């Protein structure tokens, strides 16, 4: 789609940026921004302790009300509870400030679309913090991902007592919903899902099978009451398959060797006794195996750097507001399917 026409470019000087919400994740936003090509000018948080920590750590003013940042910043990173995303982001978009809002963009797709409409109306950049899009593991599977036919993901985490205002679908599965939509690039045809509450009023575990109009299928599992964290995905296509571990930034890609033609392979004439190592024959002669030892990088830093580039260049983010809305719309379909199979 064409690049958005965005008015009121910022000064060619360093972008003045603020962070709203300097709790567990917001602190990392502030820390990383101080090392990027911008000026962290202020933060906002209703917690007095959080404000005191921010002032002592980053030597910037801290306000209880996020609206006090208006007029002081060109851009802002919004890292508040999901239920406040629409309210806080709205104040900045209307106030002429570019916004990076953490995932999910909002509690509902309708709220997210309202933010997209405001960003367009006021000529502002709106980026959504789907940090996995910046994970170096994704770079190793470009050719497989473009023609994905089946995707399987597992995203597990121990219970953290954070993000309890939403369930595991909007908390964890949303990452993989966004990745799958970015890979498959097709409309959803149907959703089957099951999940339930364990420790909180909302669902703490969920499993979904999503079928797309182009024939691709994704099977996603999310669990925030696991004993150990796990973030893995496997992607299958006619060209081969890829296995990724987002936690360690490691992976493996298996592809058919050049000239592969299984139909011309006379299995009856193969003397397995003379082959030596059958594994070596298959994986060195018929298939290509690439172990991806990827640079660890810092996906959150890359996400913030991309936001700053978009603010300066007035360009479309890697993860746009529209992408954020699409992910939440998919999550709503998963939640609707779960509601039909609710635990009693």
Q: Say which range, 37-41, 82-86, 165-169, 282-286, has the weakest mean pLDDT.
A: 282-286
Q: Is residue 54 part of a domain?
A: yes
Q: Are residues 75 and 195 in the same domain?
A: no
- Residue 4 pLDDT > 50, yes or no? no
Mean pLDDT of 13-24: 94
Section 99-128 average pLDDT:
98
Task: Indicate whether 109 belongs to any domain.
Answer: yes
* Residue at 113 is within a domain: yes
Domain containing 27 equals 15-131+300-318
Residues 286, 142 within the same domain: yes
Indicate which CATH number applies to the domain containing 234. 3.30.360.10
pLDDT digits (tens, 9 = 90+) for 164-178: 778 999 999 999 999
Same domain, 155 and 262: yes
User: Residue 258: is its pLDDT beyond 70?
Assistant: no
Q: Is residue 111 very low, low, confident or very high in pLDDT (cuts 50, 70, 90)? A: very high
CB of 77 closer than 8 Å to CB of 307: yes
Q: Pick from 194, 237, 233, 234: which is nearest to 215 by CA?
A: 237
Average model confidence (pLDDT) for the chain? 87
- Exposure of 105 in the CB half-sphere (CA atoms within 13 A): 31
Q: Give the model's confidence band at 275: pLDDT under 50 very low, under 70 low, under 90 confident, else very high.
A: very low
pLDDT at residue 257 tops 80: no
pLDDT at 5: 39
User: Span 181-208, mean pLDDT?
Assistant: 92
pLDDT exceeds cutoff 60 at 215:
yes
Q: Is residue 66 part of a domain?
A: yes
Are 176 and 222 in contact by the 8 Å Cβ rule? The answer is yes
What pLDDT is stored for residue 138 in this prediction? 77
- Looking at per-residue pLDDT, the higher value among 313 and 161 belongs to 313
pLDDT-derived band of residue 27, with 50, 70 and 90 as boundaries? very high
User: Which DSSP string corresponds to 313-326?
Assistant: HT---SSBHHHHHH
**Number of domains the chain contains:** 2
Query: What is the average per-residue pLDDT within 116-135?
Result: 96
Residues 89 and 197 in one domain: no
Distances (CA, A) of 3 to 125, 316, 320: 11, 6, 11
pLDDT band of 32, cuts 50, 70, 90: very high
Residue 328 lies in a domain: no
Q: Are residues 260 and 281 in the same domain?
A: yes
Say what the pLDDT of residue 2 is: 39
Residue 335 within any structural domain of the chain: no
Q: In this structure, what CATH number is given to the domain that contains residue 94?
A: 3.40.50.720
Residues 216 and 289 placed together within one structural domain of the fold: yes
Residue whose entry in the numeric block shows the structure tokens 């496997």: 234
User: How confident is the model at residue 62, as a pLDDT?
Assistant: 98
The DSSP annotation for 22-34 comes to -STTHHHHHHHHT
**pLDDT score at 256:** 73
What is the DSSP pairing of strand 217-223 with strand 150-156?
parallel
pLDDT above 50 (res 6)? no
**How many Å is the Cα radius of gyration of the chain?**
23
Asked if the structure places residue 330 within a domain, the reply is no
For residues 175 and 36, state if they share a domain: no
Percent of the chain with pLDDT over 90: 66
The whole-number pLDDT of residue 295 equals 65
Mean pLDDT of 149-155: 96
Confidence of residue 286 (pLDDT cuts 50, 70, 90): low
Written as six digits, the tokens of 78 are 């919004």
Does residue 220 share a domain with residue 195?
A: yes
Q: Is 195 helix (H, G, I), strand (E, B) or coil?
A: strand
335 pLDDT higher than 80: yes
Judge whether residue 17 has pLDDT over 90.
yes
At 319, is the pLDDT very low, low, confident or very high (cuts 50, 70, 90)? very high
pLDDT value of position 303:
97
274 three-state secondary structure: helix
pLDDT > 70 fraction of the chain, expressed in percent and rounded: 84
Q: Clarify whether residues 112 and 156 are in a common domain.
A: no
Residue 79 domain flag: yes
Q: Are residues 140 and 262 both part of a single domain?
A: yes
Q: Looking at the predicted structure, is the pLDDT value of residue 155 above 90?
A: yes
| Eight-state DSSP code of residue 127 | E
Is 121 found in the same domain as 72?
A: yes
Helices (H), 123-213: 142-145, 168, 174-184
The pTM assigned to this predicted structure is 0.86
């Amino acid at each position: 789609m064409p690049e958005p026409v965005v008015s009121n470019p910022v000064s060619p000087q360093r972008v003045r940026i603020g962070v709203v919400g300097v709790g567990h994740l917001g602190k990392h936003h502030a820390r990383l921004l101080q090392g990027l090509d911008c000026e962290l000018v202020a933060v906002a948080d209703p917690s007095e302790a959080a404000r005191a920590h921010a002032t002592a750590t980053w030597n910037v003013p801290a306000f209880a009300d996020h609206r006090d940042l208006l007029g002081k910043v060109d851009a802002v990173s919004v890292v508040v509870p999901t239920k406040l995303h629409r309210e806080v982001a709205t104040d900045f978009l209307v106030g002429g400030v570019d916004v990076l809002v953490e995932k999910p963009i909002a509690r509902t797709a309708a709220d997210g679309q309202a933010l997209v409409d405001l960003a367009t109306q006021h000529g502002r950049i709106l980026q959504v913090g789907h940090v996995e899009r910046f994970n170096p593991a994704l770079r190793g599977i470009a050719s497989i991902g473009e023609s994905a036919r089946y995707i399987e993901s597992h995203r597990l985490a121990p219970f953290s007592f954070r993000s309890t205002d939403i369930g595991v679908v909007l908390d964890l599965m949303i990452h993989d919903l966004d990745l799958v939509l970015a890979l498959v690039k097709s409309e959803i045809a149907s959703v089957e899902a099951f999940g339930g509450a364990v420790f909180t009023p909302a669902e703490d575990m969920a499993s979904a099978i999503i079928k797309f109009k182009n024939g691709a299928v994704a099977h996603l599992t999310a669990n925030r009451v696991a004993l150990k964290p796990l973030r893995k995905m496997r992607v299958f296509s006619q060209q081969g398959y890829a296995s990724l571990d987002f936690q360690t930034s490691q992976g493996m890609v298996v592809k058919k060797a050049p000239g592969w033609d299984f139909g011309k392979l006379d299995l009856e004439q193969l003397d397995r006794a003379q082959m030596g190592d059958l594994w070596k024959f298959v994986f060195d002669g018929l298939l290509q195996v690439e172990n991806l030892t990827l640079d660890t990088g810092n996906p959150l830093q890359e996400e913030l750097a991309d936001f700053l580039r978009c603010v300066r260049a007035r360009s479309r983010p890697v993860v746009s507001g529209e992408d954020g809305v699409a992910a939440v719309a998919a999550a709503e379909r998963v939640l609707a399917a779960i509601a039909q199979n609710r635990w009693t």
